[in-house]
Amino acid sequence: MDWENAIDGGAGQLEESCPFFPLSKILKATNDFDDALVVGTGGFGKVYKAIIDDGIVVAIKRLNAESNQGAEEFWTEVRLLSKLRHAHLVSLVGYCNEHQEMILVYEYIANGTLASHLYKSNREESGKSISPLKWVQRLNICIGAARGFDYLHTGTKQPIIHRDVKTTNILLDENWVAKVSDFGICKLITSQATTHVSTKVKATRGYWDPDYIYTNRVTRKSDVYAFGVVLLEVLCGRPPIDHRLEEEQISLILWAKKHIENGKLDRIIDPSLNGETTPQSLKYFSKLANSCLHITPKERPTMSEVVEILQNALVLHERKGRSWGRITKAFQGIKLVPMGMNCWWREGNGNGSNSSGGLPKQSFPQPIFNYVNHSVDPRFSLAEIHAATNNFNKSLLKEYSNVYVFTYKEMSLAKKHFRPDNVLGEGGFGVVYKGVIDESVRPGYKTTNVAIKELDREGFQGDKEWLAEVSYLGQLSHPNLVKLVGCCCDDEHRLLVYEYMASGSLEKHLFQRDCFILTWPRRMKIALDAARALAFLHLAERPIIYRDFKTSNILLDADFNAKLSNFGLAKDGPMGDQTHVSTRVMGTYGYAAPEYLMTGHLMAQSDVYGFGVVLLEMLIGRRAMDRSRPSREQKLVKWARPLLMHKKKLLRILDPRVEGQYSTKTALKVAHLAYQCLSQNPKGRPVMSQVVKILETLQTQEKSQER
């Protein structure tokens, strides 16, 4: 198998070769394979913790001559891991194959396997004091592992099937970051037209995909099935097969699926998680596990979809119990502070206040808001708290934003009591209605058409995103940012009132058949408008990273002027000598920059990548992700970017709906700009102010040619 050529591509960084360690160095590092250094054993042999070279702590796996793993598995692992680098794949430091020894040297992963932390029996047998994993830890571990497997499936030139997905092959570093290990029986899908590999059944009992057993055909969905078993282990805290249990409970899959389908999660959940989970998060997680275990491979989600659903489950968990409460008068002077700072209210001697609906002592583990003055009152300290559940003091909003604060009754009048025929759109945030604010809603108000977004309290955007939107759009003003007219925060109701954008979203005009087809000049004008919006955010006194740049967030007014909307995920950018801000990965799959997905490091260049994706969508007329297309064309960037610098290939893939409306020279320049924006290396991308200049120059040239 030509691993070197097959693995090339994607977000991973490739290395030319894997270092070779002489056996003498291995013997010295392990003190002649001293059993006192053994940190793990298995059918393959033993793993030793050792220090090698300049004090590097490593895990040395010595393959037993009697083991089931032989030379083929050994060389598969060496060739594969010497080429791949990813935040959620274990790193291979080197190897040794001298004197009939086959030895692999890995980075040392301090917290061992996921399995060792899940099962009560494993924790007790370890002889160490190991606490059960918290639910939020389990969610983050699952997300990390899923990203690792998704990278294998989609991040290389030819997809890689792991074939041995299980909790003992998911390792946890000192920060509890998950890393996928053990690549000895991986298989490549070597043809674009091929969806499976025919091979003898290998893997671990309890994780076998039934379709693989029946047909000997292994697919990426075989990995998804096994990952579904992992999810059940995480949920239930037990192994896939346990003969110590009663007959009906021996098989985790059969036992757990029955209770999941009957809605009786309380009968299977790990007892150590009691009181830690939220119903919504648990529901998402269990349904995902069940769908991964579908008997029909085509009905299972992809690993990309698994990542997305797990992230949603995490968001729902982090929102548990969060609601706005009545804030005492001392809070009314609060204005803005840097994002990420959370407020804890203390009064007097620090014992807290229960007066007038105040906040009780130290009983609130989640943020109430992320905004206070730069000069923080001494009565505030940084911590995380829940809010109480009464009425939020609206004067707080008036203090730090330039928007109207409406009552829910006024909003009902503006929306004509939420009639379905006024609905403009729906999403994970809730519903957007068309409304009118006039004298009947608020005396003295000039009649204005508006769009009213009502937050779904069971959706994925919470109070934090709602307040971020009020904060940013309430303070910022630019011709290419949608105007926030007002907001409403009565009781549990969270609404945002925007200027009405008569032509809808860019997404609608690019991809819906019944919509007006955007001409080439109009597309270039929209691209320039959107670029100006991003450049404005990036060049602000306190830089802002938008974080969710996509066609559905670019709205068009009656004259097709483009305006950026939806600031719920926006984040303050790095300041001073900082190059990035670290944050949990959020956004939309297909638009997120590879370095952000891999590391959580967010920078202005992350927005530039998203702009490149949108520019590509406008050029080609295809969605960033389209699973209805052939597998090699489903990811637009992966398929189209290599073609952008070839004139003939480019002209073949440009949107046929705008054929004849552009000069070849201009199309090539726009394609070159998209190519640069989509560079895997953030430093290879232009800044948005440069993008604006390039598009302005092209627009000027086109206008002069028309004359």
Catalogue the active-site residues. Answer: 548
Integer angstrom CA distances of residue 238 from 192, 245, 252: 38, 11, 8
Query: What DSSP designation does 113 have?
Result: B
Exposed/middle/buried for 681, CB within 10 Å: 0-12, 13-18, 19+?
exposed
Identify how many contiguous H helices and E strands the chain contains and give both numbers.
22, 25
Q: How far apart are the first and last CA of the chain?
A: 59
Q: Is 202 annotated as a binding residue?
A: no
Exposed/middle/buried for 626, CB within 10 Å: 0-12, 13-18, 19+?
middle
- Structural tokens at position 305: 């979809």
Q: Is 61 annotated as a binding residue?
A: yes
Q: Looking at 120-204, which runs of residues are DSSP E strands?
A: 160-161, 170-172, 178-180, 187-188, 196-198
Angle subtended by helix axes 520-538 and 688-706, to nearest 10 = 150
Exposed/middle/buried for 417, CB within 10 Å: 0-12, 13-18, 19+?
exposed
Residue 434's H or E segment, with its range, is: strand 430-437
- What gap in Å lies between CA 157 and CA 632, rounded to an integer? 10
Coil, helix or strand at residue 411: helix
Helix residue spans in 379-479 (DSSP H): 395-400, 408-414, 463-475
- What is the b/e burial string over 365-380, where b = at least 16 CB atoms within 10 angstroms of the residue's CB? ebbbbbbbeeeeeeeb
At 104, phi and psi to the nearest 5? -115, 135
Exposed/middle/buried for 458, CB within 10 Å: 0-12, 13-18, 19+?
exposed
Angle in degrees, CA 433, 434, 435, rounded to 5 = 110
The residue to which tokens 């997680």 are assigned: 285
- Structural tokens at position 683: 């430093």
- What gap in Å lies between CA 688 and CA 693, rounded to an integer? 9
User: Taking a C-beta distance cutoff of 8 angstroms, is the pair 643, 675 a contact?
Assistant: no
SS (H, E, C) 62-106: EECCCCCCCHHHHHHHHHHHCCCCCCCECCEEEEECCCCCCEEEE
Exposed/middle/buried for 262, CB within 10 Å: 0-12, 13-18, 19+?
exposed
Exposed/middle/buried for 25, CB within 10 Å: 0-12, 13-18, 19+?
middle
At 280, phi and psi to the nearest 5? -65, -45
Amino acid at 680: Q
Is the Cα dihedral 241, 245, 251, 257 positive or negative?
negative
Integer angstrom CA distances of residue 120 from 253, 325, 702: 19, 40, 69
Instruction: Show binding-site residues.
Output: 61, 453
Instruction: Give the residue ranges of the annotated binding site for ATP.
Output: 61, 453
